[in-house]
Structure 1
Amino acid sequence: MKEEKLKHSKRITLGAAAIAASAALVLSGCSSSGSSSTPDASSSGGALTPVKLQLQWFTQAQFSGYYAALDQGYFKDEGLDVTIVEGGTDIVPQTQLADGAVDYAVAWVPKALASREQGAGITDVAQVFQKSGTLQVSMADKNIKTAADLKGKVVGNWGYGNEFEMFAGITKAGLDPATDVQLVQQNFDESGLLDGSIDAAQAETYNEYAQILETVNPATGKLYQPSDLNVIDWNTEGTAMLQDAIWANTDKLKNDPAYQDTTVKFLTAALKGWIYARDNPDKASAIVVAAGSQLGASHQLWMTNEINKLIWPSPDGIGVVNADSWAQTVDVAMNAKNLEGSTVITKEPDADAYDNTYVNKALDALKSEGVDVTGSSYQPITVTLTEGGK
């Protein structure tokens, strides 16, 4: 399955030269809490261990927990000198990891499983997102509320492996994707929905859905409101697939005690960063903006809030792979076919595909500090979007 940019915003469209330059940028251990990209003495008196984390897209609040962990000095507290490597249009995070260019990578589960089937030695060591953020969005007057309502409609998707939840949902509703709906590949924005050429468009709760709500409705002269829209949520339809997870090198997990130890430390700090983002969404959003995001402040706060909804509450503890959610992801990945008849994977992943050992050790460390790792009382904030997400 071809990898493509996963978070598509028309406000971060860059020229080819700018993309090439931006993709090469990294953010390293300089932070407001005094950490440095140059290894120095850790709290235990030793040199900091250098670690590279590969993101799957450019700097934005989809990754706010990692930037918060860097900014707050959590990685340094664990004896790590972490460099956050931005993604780009031509960067496949799990390939970077498998090739040894980085130590850990953030990637969607189905895409990483496809890479594993093709030989990438990678393991999901922390399932940060507990739910999918993918929607099909339509204008309310289209009366499209479930997958069954897509019959006879023009339905957009990005393709590049992002379409399988939708294909599974359409099929589950008793429709034939090839004949009962008119499928079109949409741009990496919501222009087709807004100009009326697409009845139901693919969007992420934390990004493209907000783009619509940041746009002026010509009928009212005001920004679009949620009441102007209907959404199909693949979590509700039962065909959702797990998204952002932290992946590690499988061979090193088996054979390298130092890497095993670093993995626990890395997860301890990273998850603490996500907990910070949960408890301080405004500050976490501001950290991302300061880190150089191309998106506006209100959009980033919206994204931070919506990402938190995909994580919290985490009854088993943040990062633990839920067996049922994993099984559903694998089932959709093996059985949902796109128009070319392809599935994401062709066989059940082996036992090394995920491992909760390291995240459980990290959670034990956090709980010993009195940190709330489940967020059982989590409540989202209310975010007011502005035109263009500024």
Structure 2
Amino acid sequence: MAVAVLSACGGENDTVEESAQADETENTSAELTEMTQVTSWFPQIESAGQYMADMEGYYEEEGIDMTTDPGGPEVSSVSIVASGNAEIGMAQGDEVLLAIEEGIPLVAVMANFQQSLQGIMYHGEHDVSDFDDLAGDFEIFTSAGAGYWEYLVASTDIEQEQNAVYSGDQSAFVSNSDAASQMYITSEPYYLDQEGVDVGTLLISDSGYENYGDVLFTTEEFYEENPELVQAYVDATVRGWEQFQEDPESVYDYVHDLADNDSSTDQMEYATEQMDEHVYGGDAVENGVGYMSEERWQQLIDQLTELGVIESGMEASDVFVSDFID
């Protein structure tokens, strides 16, 4: 009887404890604010800061129940954020400015890369040292409307007639030894090398085009109504990038599983090495990951204004906030 009574008491206590734990879990979940962010491409290591923050629970620690949706060639993060279907989007700095020019009230809150990872690649058999060397017979594939293309035409010997529309694959480039093509320094050169195609590369940033890469933005309305939440998001993402710098390999499997493709550890190691300076170098050395300056934004605005891509009158202070990076 004593055993039975003790067992019954233990069962009752267990039930009470389990109930309390369930209530605590429910309360914790209720305290989290749901947010959605859209990246610029399919899951890849170039978004390591966000994925590390997801994996390690940094967003939850900041009170955010985060959903991370992938981008892609048919996905416009600007449209998704503008429509209210996500709170945070990712795009190149010039893409954010073009959206603002079109009347979409966006504000940039941090930049994953101090300089864009975009560049132009060419066949390694050519002696090319700068963009002027691509003038003449080269056929250069770029995405339609790429802001950097207009800058290259205006500031180098490259001519508008050399441009061809990038179709999304590299077959036209590979089959034509006199072709050049847009690329990400972390991606296409690696994959083509695996296929035995030798390429040289030029980064757009080396041309003087002042473009932040993978800028994280929200709407003016969301920023003004939820500054604490935006701060929490930035803190978690910066922490993700800092942890990635300490232990990049720890997130490789996580990204690989999300990508559900043939991405390999070798490719992610290659990309990690290539993007290191772009994340942690430049102004980020003294000011921290994600930092953006008014001077850099104004330079990009002035460049696009001079090219006639945007109208004059836009001010850097209207397109980004620096308050969130400590």
TM range (shorter): 0.7 to 0.9
In the alignment, which of 152, 159, 182 is matched to residue 169 of structure 1?
Answer: 152
Residue type matched to 2:233 in 1?
Answer: F
TM-score by length of 2: 0.83
Match of 2:321 in 1: 355
SS at match of 1:327: helix
The Cα of 1:288 is off from its aligned counterpart by: 0.6
Instruction: Point out where structure 1 has 5 or more consecutive residues left out of the alignment.
Output: 1-38, 218-223, 337-342, 364-390
Aligned to 1:346: 311
Measure, in 2, the Cα distance between the counterparts of 1:323 and 1:295. 40
Residue 69 to residue 176, structure 1, CA distance change in 2 (3 Å): closer
Q: Distance in 1 between matches of 2:133 and 2:208?
A: 16
1:317 paired residue among 280, 288, 294: 288
Q: Which has the higher helix share?
A: 2
Residue 82, structure 1, aligned to residue 78, structure 2? no
How has the CA–CA distance of structure 1 residues 178 and 265 changed in structure 2, closer, same or farther, with 3 Å as cutoff?
A: closer
Per the alignment, residue 306 of structure 2 pairs with 335
State the match for 1:286 in structure 2.
253
1:207 aligns with: 187
Task: Output the TM-score relative to the length of structure 1.
Answer: 0.70
**Cα distance change, pair 108–253 in 1 and its aligned pair in 2 (3 A):** same
Question: How big is each residue's C-alpha offset from its partner over 1:70-98, in whole Å with a ceiling of 9 and x where there is no partner?
Answer: 10011111111101012233321122112
Q: Secondary structure at the match of 1:291?
A: helix
Q: 1:293 to 1:277 in 2, by over 3 A?
A: farther
Residue equivalent to 2:227: 260
Residue 248 of structure 1 pairs with residue 218 of structure 2? yes
Indicate if the aligned counterparts of 2:93 and 2:213 stay in contact, CA closer than 8 A: yes
Partners of 1:288 and 1:121 in 2: how far apart?
32
The one-letter code of the counterpart of 2:66 is V
**C-alpha distance in 1 between matches for 2:313 and 2:276:** 30
Match of 2:233, SS state, is helix
Q: Which structure 2 residue ranges, 5 or more long, are not aligned? A: 1-24
What is residue 152 of structure 1 aligned with on the other side? 136
- Residue 266 of structure 1: how far off its partner (Å): 0.8
SS in structure 2 opposite 1:141? coil
SS of the residue corresponding to residue 216 of structure 1 reads: coil
- 1:220 counterpart residue number: none
* Contact 1:106/1:247 (<8 A) preserved: yes
Contact 2:81–2:89 under 8 Å retained in 1: yes
Distance 2:253 2:242 in 1: 16
Distance 1:56 1:329 in 2: 20
1:107-186 mapped onto 2 (5 Å cutoff): 107-162=91-146, 164-173=147-156, 175=157, 177-178=159-160, 182-186=162-166
Q: Which amino acid aligns with 1:158?
A: T
Structure 2 counterpart of 1:375 = none
**Percent of residue pairs bearing the same amino acid type:** 18
Aligned residue number for residue 51 of structure 1: 35
CA contact under 8 A between 1:206 and 1:307: conserved in structure 2? yes
Give distance in 1, aligned partners of 2:166 and 2:273: 26
Measured on the aligned residues, the alpha-carbon RMSD in Å equals: 2.2
Q: Which moved more, 1:194-203 or 1:264-273?
A: 194-203
**Higher Rg of the two aligned structures:** 2
Structure 1 residue 132: deviation in Å? 1.5
> Against the structure 1 CA distance between its residues 40 and 205, is the aligned structure 2 distance closer, same or farther, given a 3 Å change threshold?
farther
Q: Is the 8 A contact 1:69 1:269 kept in 2?
A: yes
Query: 1:195 matched to which residue of 2?
Result: 175
* 1:303 and 2:271 correspond: yes
**Relative to structure 1, is the Cα distance of residues 178 and 108 closer, same or farther in structure 2, using a 3 angstrom cutoff?**
closer
- Which structure would you say has the larger RCO, counting Cα contacts within 8 Å and 6 or more residues apart? 2
Q: Hey, what's the Cα distance between the residues in 1 that align with 2:141 and 2:295?
A: 26
1:197, distance to aligned residue in structure 2 (A): 5.0
Distance 1:326 1:293 in 2: 36
After TM superposition, give the deviation of residue 112 of structure 1 in Å. 1.5
Kept in 1: contact 2:55–2:251 (CA 8 A) = no
Query: Is the counterpart of residue 237 in structure 1 residue 207 in structure 2?
Result: yes
Q: Is the 8 A contact 2:113 2:215 kept in 1?
A: yes
